[in-house]
Amino acid sequence: MTSTTYTVIFYLFAAITVFSAAFVVFSRNVIYSAFSLLFTFFGVAALYVFLSADFIAVTQIVVYVGGILVLLLFGVMFTNRIMMTDLKTDVLNIVPGILILVATIGGLGYIFLNRADWFVTSERLQGSVVERIGFETMSRYVLPFEMASILLLLALIGAAFLARFDKPGKSEQ
């Protein structure tokens, strides 16, 4: 394929990612937001592939699409069935969102224009990238890795506690 084809495909995936992320933010229906988050995650994974970060792309799909998004969708769907609530958001904060968007785009544009040395390096990694990530994770970064796992376990316990239908301290009358 030519470089023009790669450019068109890159911008296609970038547009899918940006528009689905905007739909996540601006949709009032939680289910629609969760499903458009699926397209956002897949678009980000495709962008990782274009950056030659195959391991991160596969991790993106396995962890976010395969785990977190499915958990989110099942949690929303089961909570809706149990409590019979209408899953619509009432607040849409457009002004703070636009201010944060402008600040983020301005900061990224400043970095992009003033840092020309971050584009491409001629240095190539020796060996497999996955092997190097595994070695670094289990040797030098084992403490942050274990701390992240404990944090995720606590978040899971907290989510299970909050999702319980019979709340402690709530007497049945």
Q: Which residue in the block uniquely carries the two structure tokens 């940006």?
A: 18
Residues 8 and 89 in one domain: yes
Given 70, 93, 116, the domain boundary residue is 93
In a domain, 100, yes or no: no
- Cα–Cα distance measured from residue 30 to residue 36, given in angstroms and rounded to the nearest whole number: 10
pLDDT of residue 20: 92
Domain check: are 69 and 132 in the same one?
no
66/133 same-domain check: no
User: Which residue in 98, 71, 62 sits closest to 160, CA to CA?
Assistant: 71
Alpha carbon distance 11, 93 (integer Å): 28
**Helix 142-163 × helix 129-138 angle, to 10°:** 80
Note whether 15 and 79 are same-domain residues.
yes
pLDDT tens digit at each of 173 positions of the chain? 778 888 888 899 999 999 999 998 888 777 788 788 888 989 999 988 888 788 888 888 888 877 777 777 777 766 655 555 555 555 667 788 889 889 999 988 888 788 766 555 566 656 667 778 888 888 888 888 888 889 888 888 887 777 766 655 655 55
18 with 67, same domain: the answer is yes
Whether residues 87 and 146 fall in one domain: no
Range of the domain at 171: 124-173
- Amino acid residing at 150: I
Distance separating alpha carbons of residues 135 and 58, to the nearest angstrom? 18
Could you tell me if residue 79 is inside a domain? yes
Tokens, residue 131: 């092997």
